[in-house]
Amino acid sequence: MVKSCCFGASMATDISLQFVYPLRPSALSSFSQAQMKGCDKPDELRTSSAGTTATGIADGNVRTPGERLGSTAEYTPGSGTYVLKGVVYSSLVGLEQVDSKASPLPVISVISGKTASSPPAVGCFVLAQVTKISQKRVDCNILAVDGLSLAEPFRGFIRSQDIRETEVDTVDVLECYSLGDVLRAKVISLGDGRSYVLSTASAELGVLFSQGKDGGQLQPVTCKLMRCDVTGRLQRKKVAAPIFLS
């Protein structure tokens, strides 16, 4: 059975992941272990240590990926969160932080200080940012491994034959990825020791975040198309299906 790769109108218009662009290792709290590989919600993590500082920033509960934080009528989503159908969710394991002095609405964020303790290994899921493109391969900086940010990025690349599961011989690399795109990928080989070989040849792998040619943020429409939130124009991409749709 062939899976439908249309994410639906609500997905294209209602999901808004909060990303920092261009990305640095210190900015990776905007991405989630849930988006990387899925995550359960351990009850033992749901503890509270609420308190408000003189700056108006309150530290609250420990939050886990996919946990509801509130609505966009109550909060402005900050780092470590995403929005789906008007609801703000945590995108990682970390401490909830609310800046009550922000205007017009308080800014809610989830802050995590965790970093990966070991380099990528075969089978790991990674977040990578495209740094160079040719018709034969896509070069990337690996910024996170299995949901944990790296102190320093590693280099990786995706061969043209490893971009898609189908249309391997006819894939147009430039229609799949652009400079600056942030991808979810899988490590399939250690390469030559200097660069890891990555693959996006699976429905849940591909572009997570991209800026359009007109400067707007691209939103997923299908597994091959994204729409600019400024102009409404469609742009071809190898799009990562959300975990719950893949």
Both 130 and 232 in a single domain? yes
Residue 128 banded pLDDT, cuts 50, 70, 90:
confident
| Domain carrying residue 149 | 124-236
Element (H, E) at 81: strand 81-84
Residue 173 φ/ψ, nearest 5 degrees: -55, -40
- Give the CATH number for residue 101: 2.40.50.100
State mean pLDDT over 124-152.
Answer: 86
Residue 3 has pLDDT above 70, yes or no: no
Q: What is the dihedral of CA 224, 229, 231, 234, to 10 degrees?
A: 0
96 within a domain of the structure (yes/no): yes
Both 85 and 184 in a single domain? no
226 within a domain of the structure (yes/no): yes
106 within a domain of the structure (yes/no): yes
147 within a domain of the structure (yes/no): yes
Greater confidence (51 vs 85) lies with: 85
Q: What is the dihedral of CA 143, 11, 102, 149, to 10 degrees?
A: -10
Both 145 and 105 in a single domain? no
209 within a domain of the structure (yes/no): yes
Residue 53 has pLDDT above 60, yes or no: no
pLDDT in tens, 180-219: 888 999 999 988 777 999 999 999 999 988 888 877 778 8
Both 149 and 204 in a single domain? yes
Given this model, what pLDDT does residue 188 score? 96
112-126, 184-198, 215-229: range with lowest mean pLDDT = 112-126
243 within a domain of the structure (yes/no): no
Both 90 and 177 in a single domain? no
Residue 5 banded pLDDT, cuts 50, 70, 90:
low
Given this model, what pLDDT does residue 43 score? 32
pTM of the predicted model, to two decimals?
0.61
Residue 157 banded pLDDT, cuts 50, 70, 90:
very high
28 within a domain of the structure (yes/no): no
Instruction: Give the three-state DSSP class for 97.
Output: strand
Both 211 and 173 in a single domain? yes
* Separation CA 242–CA 244 (nearest Å): 6
Both 85 and 149 in a single domain? no
pLDDT in tens, 171-182: 999 999 999 888
Residue 62 has pLDDT above 80, yes or no: no
Residue 115 has pLDDT above 80, yes or no: no
Q: Which whole-number Å values give the CA distances from 243 to 34, 37, 39, in the listed order?
A: 8, 7, 10
Mean of the per-residue pLDDT values of the chain: 74
Both 90 and 182 in a single domain? no
State mean pLDDT over 165-170.
Answer: 84
Element (H, E) at 11: helix 9-14
Both 133 and 199 in a single domain? yes
Name the domain count of the chain.
2
Given this model, what pLDDT does residue 144 score? 79
In the listed set 47, 80, 111, which residue is the last one of a domain according to the structure?
A: 111
Residue 17 has pLDDT above 60, yes or no: no
Both 156 and 230 in a single domain? yes
Given this model, what pLDDT does residue 44 score? 30
Residue 225 banded pLDDT, cuts 50, 70, 90:
very high
3 within a domain of the structure (yes/no): no
Residue 12 has pLDDT above 80, yes or no: no
- Give the CATH number for residue 218: 2.40.50.140
Both 102 and 134 in a single domain? no
